[in-house]
Amino acid sequence: MIRSLLPSPSLRAWLVIGLATGFAGCATNPVTGKSQLSLVSESQEIQMGKEAAQQTIQQIGVVDNPQVEAYVSQIGMKMAKASERPNLPWEFHVVNDASVNAFALPGGFIFVTRGLLTHLNDEAELATVVGHEIGHVTNRHSVQMISKAQLAQLGLGIGSIVSSDVARLAGLLGQGLSLLFLKYSRNAENEADLAGFRYALNQNYDVREMANVFKTLDRVSAASGGGKLPEWLATHPNPGNRIIKVEQRLDTLHKDLSNSTLNREQYLQHVQGLAFGEDPRQGFFEGTTFYHPQLKFQLTFPEGWKTQNGADAVVAASPSQDAIMQLGLAGKVPPEQAAQQFLSQQGVKAGQGSRSSINGLPAASSYFEAQTQQGVVEGLVSFISYGGTTYGLLGYTPAGKLQQYDAVLRRSIGSFSELRNQAALNVKPARVEVIKLTKEMTLQQFNSQYPSSIPIEELAIINELEGPDAVIPAGRMVKRVVGGRGPQGQPGANGM
């Protein structure tokens, strides 16, 4: 997955607006009734969230499954409309990412990942997760954190915020999507947990399932699941004590849950066919060569460099971690215009340039030097037009080291070309298949009869079973994973 190398002003603009107001203010938390810091009006909160939501959809993408999106939205809307902030422009989306996570944007824009859906096992579990994210919005947690950040910046002056384009372009600072990953305080997480528990309970969901969600998330984090977004523990506290709090709430709950909603089979029917794990259609590595089947290009990064296909960009770092390469989108503008925009930024000094084509593709390249908050960097940037889109390839290193990396950067940038390998072009993601058991069996027996393309330990996690010897009763629906590229790029169970 790749995104734009060119600046996105939305977050910067809102920070400046907040600073321009200049005065600390307080507002009442709609859920707790307590006073909380707020420099952001509700209209600003909504606009901020709307812009970040658009970025999320454009840069990461949502699943190509309207039924799943509608299903998640229906569950979320029931709780949101019954919450303390029913009139927000609530939206619920499933982002096409393998990580096991969910996040809330200001103003009522909620996202769950495809990876989360493939790891949950019933509608009640999903409701408690979505309810938790709704709780962050109703408690205005992101507004409170943004307000604190604005106050912290007041003494620095507006100029120190708006002059960071170069560092952001170089991948040294966060932008845009950083709004998605606000790390809330322990108190904020507890408030969101309590709200999510209450919202789900009010819709008659079996809130005992909330503890199962935390257990699954804990197991996934221990197993280091994959994805382009941060894993759940990167944006939420450790679930151990949160399980205890759920159990304490259940102990004091004066309500019979025996007739509450679980909807396991209905939920699993929606999970059926979802892509599991990394989607190779969105780009994958074989060694240091990056293939993008959907966009039909390939690029080879320097040998021995550590590579990652991230949500922000495709990046590679040198073994000494003193040089970085980055691939991103520059939009539909011609290469010369994209290069001019990059080189005309404040703090950037252009060096020797060239308009030579790369593998027959129109290109504009230039050496540059740039002042960042981390010091002076120097590097090589190339913009290449292919398939109606201009791609930006950026290589940089601290000042004084470019000569050491010049040849490898030029060689790597020069490898950008059309993807013609049919095996790579036709690769498909692994998918979830749900099977209803006709007889009792252990997970090991299930895996023997219905082979899965993931390890049995991971199979146990996604089915919330303790291990290979766990007994599964007859009539139960069980998930397995079929297809995909397999461990070393080989076809998984049932082939591609």
* ∠ Cα 117 118 120 (to 5°): 65
pLDDT of residue 240: 64
Query: 379 has which bridge partners?
Result: 368, 396
Helices (H) and strands (E) counted in the chain, each on its own, are 18, 21
Burial class (CB in 10 A: 0-12, 13-18, 19+), 491: middle
First to last CA, the chain: 21
pLDDT tens digits for 370-417? 988 778 999 999 999 999 999 999 999 999 999 999 999 999 999 999
Tokens standing for residue 442:
């252990």
pTM to 2 decimals? 0.76
For residue 479, give Cα distances in angstroms to 98, 213, 271, 454: 16, 16, 9, 11
Residue 157 — φ and ψ, nearest 5°?
Answer: 90, 150
pLDDT of residue 248: 93
Burial class (CB in 10 A: 0-12, 13-18, 19+), 362: middle
Closest CA to 34 of 201, 246, 188: 188
pLDDT of residue 114: 96
Cβ(288)–Cβ(305) under 8 Å? yes
Tokens standing for residue 409:
């950067």
Cβ(370)–Cβ(376) under 8 Å? yes
Residue ranges, the chain, pLDDT below 70: 1-27, 32-39, 146-183, 224-240, 311-312, 486-496
Tell me the average pLDDT of the chain. Answer: 84
d(CA 335, CA 340): 9
Residue type, 134: I
